[in-house]
Amino acid sequence: MLIDYLPSFLTLTVIQMLGVMSPGPDFAVVMRNSLIYTRKIGVLTAIGVSLGILVHLTYILLGVGVAITKTPWLFYLFKYCGAAYLMYIGIKGLLVKKHTQKIADSHEHLRTISSFAALRTGFFTNAINPKAMLFFLSLLSAFITPSKPNLVIAIYGGIIISTTLIWFTCVAVCFSNQRLRSFFDDHKHIVERVTGGLLILLGIKILFTNLGS
């Protein structure tokens, strides 16, 4: 029976990969944590992003996603929370002090952010991103119908989460490369300020973009 759905599985995989590879808040946060901290922190941030997708899948499958888009005040609340969180992370980056930034070969920098903080950052960046909600809502509406078996729907969800995790893990591995991080050793504060500014701009873009159009 599942073989009959193979074309839709492959189509969903391609569309999801194209979507997840588009630069956005998730990419910026994973890149930032991978470049500034360690590979472990970068991968944990990627895992957090993937877990955030569970929130979108849950309320969309429960029909709450449509209710949010049809209820202006609720949608704008969701939108403002997502924009505010990105801007909050960005402001923290802009305010970083130069003297606190030193990577070196020691494990001193490992204590600058906890594993939970990395997971939390990735999770909330995706979970309260209104653009992600609209993307998954439109994506799933094209594949899910009331007649679809629960197993097939579960596989759809698994494809979305796994492709996201694979892509952002690759991003984390690339940007946590030792040579790349060594290059930015003495300029870590600049990297954090630049990525912080990028996150603020992304937050502003979400804030002033008519996502419903």
CA distances from 85 to 28, 91, 159, 206 (A): 13, 10, 27, 11
pLDDT at 119 (0 to 100): 96
Residues contacting residue 26 through CB under 8 Å, at least 6 positions apart? 20, 49, 122, 125, 126, 129, 132, 164, 168
Per-position DSSP letters for 81-127, written without gaps between them: HHHHHHHHHHHHHHT--GGG---SSSSGGGGGS-HHHHHHHHHHHHH
* pTM greater than the 0.95 cutoff: no
CA angle 94, 40, 181 (to 5 degrees): 55
What CA–CA distance (Å, rounded) separates 117 from 122?
9
Q: What is the number of other CB atoms lying within 10 angstroms of the CB of residue 189?
A: 18
Which tokens hold the place of 58? Answer: 């849950």
pLDDT tens by residue, 66-79: 777 778 887 888 78
What CA–CA distance (Å, rounded) separates 45 from 165?
10
CA angle 29, 168, 207 (to 5 degrees): 40
CA angle 111, 30, 18 (to 5 degrees): 165
142: DSSP letter: T
pLDDT tens by residue, 169-197: 999 999 888 777 676 666 666 777 787 88
pLDDT tens by residue, 4-53: 889 999 999 999 998 888 888 899 999 989 988 889 999 999 999 999 99
